[in-house]
Chain A
Amino acid sequence: MAEIEPTLLEIIKDHAVGLVGAPTRETQIADLGIDSFSIVEIIYEVEEKLSVEVPFNANENPFGEMKTVGDLIDALTELIGK
């Protein structure tokens, strides 16, 4: 299985049209400029590349209480560790 952090950063980078430069753990999710299409695509790519099923319901805020890319990496690490 691919490493979580670089894989997620790479996926996000491809969709972060609002961001100048590459995303890091400290990047705010709100600054990524991710549209509605990209959210479902990012989840799909995460599931494909990291062989994990993300328990995401499109009726909910996909990011919950998470604020930074680091929060996303931690949540994903926890999910995969389960």
Chain B
Amino acid sequence: MTRNVVVTGMGVVSPIGADIKAYWDGLSSGKSGVIRREYTLGENLSLTLPTAPVDGLETRIANLGRELMRADRFSQLAILAADEAIENAGLEIDDETGGRTACIVGTGIGGQTTFDNGYHAMLLEGKRPHPLTILKIIINAPASHMSIRYGARGPAFAISSACATGAHSIGVCADLIRNGSADVGLAGASEAVLSYGSLACWKAMHILAGETCRPFSKNRNGLVIGEGAGVLVLEEEERARKRGANILARVAGFGMNADGKDMINPAVEGAAGALSLAMDGVTVNDPHSVYVNAHGTGTLMNDPTESKAIRSVFGAGADELIVSSTKSMHGHLLGAAGGIESIAAILALREGVVPPTINYDEPDPDCDLNYAPNKAVERKLDLAVSNSFAFGGLNAVVAFAKV
């Protein structure tokens, strides 16, 4: 018997809104979460650059409880998103269902703030490392905290595939449910790397935008790093229907592969292959009703590569469908990107509104699709696809269908 997987809850912490309602308000109004900010470490190290932080979470984090107060920020953001997703889903996890509940939650990098502060204290100030350092930095920390907090005792682990982490986590969790390893799961990712050391390393790669993120625009010059988390509640469809859950979308397809070519440069064949796998078995009657939430980093290489990949999979339909990069608003959340962008895709599907690609002011002949420039577009949608293509050539694409 085929087990279908549906989305019954969503939770988000993003630079343009720290819950689902605020996030959608931000997405649909073209809000920018990018600001220029100074990051310091100790008294002598400082770096100022555009980033997309999440401010004003102090009270919510303080209310998470004693154990999470001592966790790294990437775990705290993940739990804030998961709390909202569970509440949104009306999900009750008891002793019996807990054993069938998965937590597949990843991160691209992990406890970077803890690393930064720890190394600074140890190497520059001669202090001893804090004894909880390891528990803070391990990338499975969010998955572990969730399993403890909610009593979820099914499969629980972190996936890490740089910028494809969130999409891999959602797709793999859906597969676990489809294959019978779990009936319900928390799936997504978090990232919190806005610290001096991490940003200095990103800057050293020479791929950060000088001012802001301009995906698919000819004058684009790089990405802006953001922080946040996005978590979905995925559920076997029959179970969801029996408990009267509000079904937000169906996981219609998932494709993953690797370029096998280059650590930095993306490959059209790899991206197209993952997208094609996600679309395998998905019927598209009208390409006009398809929305692709693009990886759209705003780098020189990604955007034309991704555009070509979309065109190669959809053929003539590529001129009918609509694409946007919400990274233009919330920045690049690295591992968490696929989490919050899947949520953007599902919200667009439900609301019939495509969030714009903001900061788009100069067409590029190499990026020749409809990118919903600068203003949200009302459109009846049947399918929303979230693309994630990571450094290291790891690709993951999730497709969500209207229910």
Contact = CB atoms under 8 A, between A and B. Distances in A.
A66 interface: no
Contact of A43 (B67, B131, B135): B131
B121 to A, nearest CB: 12
B67 A37 contact: yes
B66 A17 contact: yes
B135 A44 contact: no
B57 to A, nearest CB: 21
Contacts of A43: 131
B130 interface: yes
A41 interface: yes
Nearest to A38: B66
Nearest to B66: A17
B132 to A, nearest CB: 6
Contacts of A35: 66-67
A52 interface: no
Interface residues of B, number: 8
Q: Tell which of B66, B70, B128, B131 has the most Cβ of chain A within 10 Å.
A: B131
B70 A37 contact: yes
Interface in B73-132: 128, 130-132
A41 B135 CA distance: 12
Interface string A27-69: 0000000010100110110011000000000000000000000
B131 A44 contact: yes
A35 B132 CA distance: 13
Contacts of A41: 70, 131-132
A49 B67 CA distance: 23
B271 to A, nearest CB: 43
Interface of A: 17, 35, 37, 40-41, 43-44, 47-48
12 contacts: A17-B66, A35-B67, A37-B66, A37-B67, A37-B70, A40-B131, A40-B132, A41-B70, A41-B131, A44-B131, A47-B128, A48-B128
8 interchain residue pairs of minimum CB distance: A40-B131, A44-B131, A37-B70, A37-B67, A17-B66, A37-B132, A40-B132, A41-B131
